[in-house]
A and B are shown apart, each in its own frame.
Chain A
């Protein structure tokens, strides 16, 4: 049987969900027999090739995030999002309480230890947008909340997908923290 192709990406996040993915430990060896990971934050591949399952960690917080989310969506059959940031906006979305100018000012002027600091600007830096969960930008097929989701929850979701079902975490596996 051909391996299921999977690509993962991270947007605005702490990478904790991917760490939790790695926390599956020895299960990863078994997964490697049935899954082919074509792209991940480690490979740093900029363009996605078509895959069966796309996985996104993190919220959509700038124009680049939105591009990545749309790009992966266009290249996967099923899109699964990992963690509270991707599912709900998460801790990043606290900055939605302020304007983008206030946030940048706070970060680069008030909290900065650099003398005469200024807010960097360049066309290479994607502008910040309002922080959104992934489902407000692209269609999402399944969600694994948690901050981060446990390795057990991620394993459950992958196992369901491999069995041809759309995973919905059972109540006892749900965590928002």
Chain B
């Protein structure tokens, strides 16, 4: 990019070719007021607050859309411009309802701040008072059209950040409204509830029900931490007031890893089940009764003395690595058992088995590409996964690839199209036949010569010719033409990404994972030495737990006693069925649940916001989970409980 020189307010300043005048001003610390501009989004010049005077231009122009050129002479704060800006503000105020005293955004509103800056103490024009609706039918969001200034930031965020483009303008002129789809209520629209629009809105036109009137930004502390909701590991900016969660924002909304999803932005603020606030033990009537930690530990020590064999430990991987490591030692050294697993250990065993069968050189999960490669893809196959359910940010990135790169999207799913309205091709193989479909795909690619020469060994070719095309069609129930369509799309892709997840893993077939890796390898879909393959991993620190060796597996048949560190898991219904026959069950959990009511001893556990430590994300980055809230009523950390029990059993854990 060439360097250019402009004269702004009489001073020579440097810029880059391709910059707008606004970008040059911002890079040189020249203050130009903006309203419809949001760093990282495209510019449209909707509000005209950033008007500047440019020599030889007959009238002021918006700096945000005016391309900077070498030799341009710009004035940004003449008396005339300041007068126009105030006039623009007055006109905006007359257009809809901008009375601050009952607005959720008052104090955090960019329109209000500009009105203060321009000392707008009266409005010289009559107000229009249009009667506009409020859409509050969405689970988390409210659109109050009365507060809207039609800057279009939400629309651009919805399209460029969320990749969804649910929002756009409807109508024309002063009837213009921001609307979802074809004037649907937001709750019935194609909205994915990622909340990018809430963060982009400069006024109180779009706001979150969960943060409503809880606190203004300047009353809150802000803590940068990691999202505990899934394995992606998005960075969060959590706003806290008086030890209560107020709001969760994306620290870098418009960057590749910036957007958040409904689970991170809203899910973490949702009402929770009642907390476990004290240790509980079984009383004489068999009911759980509150007791001191000392007493609960005594019961554990007594009961453990009775059960020598068949003890095991199981832990949620929502906890940081420090807790995982201590738990590993607790089960191994203190309880004396090598039977230990995580709630998602089985997934990891299948994934890594699949990788090992493909290439056993110890690289393990690092053979997969980072998630940044998804929005760059030109073809995406989603097989046996529902990213919108398990890792919504992955589906955001997929939609961005489709919207911004015109990527082909193929869903392979035996029950439903997980990207309705977005897929180019939905293949619906018979349940359990996904592996055959993938092998069939490999066979067609080889037949059609859509593989990189030398990448498919004779042994591989032989193994993929195991099924004839007729057999693949018969087993999967998918017509040959559709399989060929799939092969054409993936075979011709230059940056084809395959994403697989829990539904494929549930088939318990590591060889289909090996096939996926072979497919990517044969077709040369790789970045450097990583293959364009991504497995969706459930919990925030599940990779950390795998790498520390906690997901070793438990022999369920011989199980007599289980120490279950459930942490702040909300949905663990799957566990219930096999916990029943266990003689002695200790559950350390944040929330009361059917599982805690089965336990012999219940111990309290902090929630994500009360913990600190390290998380390893699904693509292997190590991130810091920061303490956001002080633990309620001085509840102990998980480690403190484990150390206490260890001490009573004569072990020194630190």
List residues of A whose CB falls within 8 A of some B CB: 84, 87-91, 93-94, 96-98, 133, 135-136, 140, 142-145, 147, 168-172, 174-177
**In contact, B119 and A177 (Cβ under 8 angstroms):** no
Q: Are A88 and B101 in contact (CB under 8 A)?
A: no
Q: Would you call A135 and B131 a contact (CB within 8 A)?
A: no
List the B side residues contacting A169 at CB < 8 Å: 119, 121
Q: Min CB distance, A81 to chain B, in Å? A: 8
Count of residues in B whose CB is under 8 Å from the partner chain: 23
Return chain A residues, CB-CB under 8 Å to B127: 89, 93, 96
Q: Which residues of A contact B121 (CB under 8 A)?
A: 87, 142-145, 168-169, 174
Does A84 lie within 8 Å of B119, measured CB to CB? no
Which listed residue (A97, A98, A174) contacts B115, Cβ 8 A?
A174
Cβ-defined contact, A97 with B119, below 8 A? no
How far is the CB of A83 from the nearest CB of chain B, in Å?
10
With A97-B129, A176-B112 already in contact, the answer to whether A84 and B123 are too (CB < 8 A) is no
Query: A91 with B99: in contact, given A168-B121, A171-B116 (CB under 8 Å)?
Result: yes
Q: Confirm or deny: B93 has a beta carbon within 8 angstroms of a beta carbon on chain A.
A: yes
Does chain A have a CB within 8 A of B465? no
Q: Which residues of B contact A133 (CB under 8 A)?
A: 122-123
Q: Within 8 Å of chain A (Cβ to Cβ): is B102?
A: yes
State whether the Cβ of B100 lies closer than 8 Å to any Cβ in chain A: yes
- Contacting A at CB under 8 A, from B325-362, are none
Contacts of A94 in B (CB 8 A): 97, 99
Whether, in the assembled complex, B189 has its beta carbon less than 8 Å from a beta carbon of chain A, the answer is no
* Residue contact A90 to B119, C-beta cutoff 8 Å: no
In the bound complex, residues from chain B placing their C-beta under 8 Å from that of A143 are 121-122
- Selected from A135, A144, A147, the residue in CB contact (under 8 A) with B101 is A147
Sample (20) of A-B pairs whose CB atoms are under 8 Å apart? A84-B99, A87-B121, A87-B122, A90-B101, A94-B99, A96-B127, A96-B129, A97-B129, A136-B126, A142-B121, A143-B121, A147-B100, A147-B101, A168-B119, A174-B119, A175-B116, A176-B112, A176-B115, A177-B100, A177-B103
Assembled-state Cα–Cα distance A175/B106 (Å): 10
Residues from chain B with Cβ under 8 Å of A172 in the complex:
116
Q: How far is the CA of A68 from the CA of B97 in the complex (A)?
A: 27
How far apart sit A117 and B127, CA to CA, in the bound complex (Å)? 33
**B99, B115, B122: the one within 8 Å of A90 (CB):** B99
Query: In the complex, what's the smallest C-beta–C-beta distance from B38 to chain A, in angstroms?
Result: 23
- Chain B, residues 115-146, CB within 8 Å of chain A (1/0): the string is 11101111110110101000000000000000
Q: Mark B571-598, 1 if CB is under 8 A from A, else 0.
A: 0000000000000000000000000000
In the complex where A143-B121, A176-B106 touch, is A91 in contact with B101 (Cβ < 8 A)? yes
For B88-117 the 0/1 string (1 means CB < 8 A from A) is 000001000101111100110000100111
Report yes or no: A97 in contact with B131, Cβ–Cβ below 8 A: yes
- Is A171's CB under 8 angstroms from B119's CB? yes
A-side contacts of B107, CB under 8 Å: 177
- In contact, B119 and A88 (Cβ under 8 angstroms): no
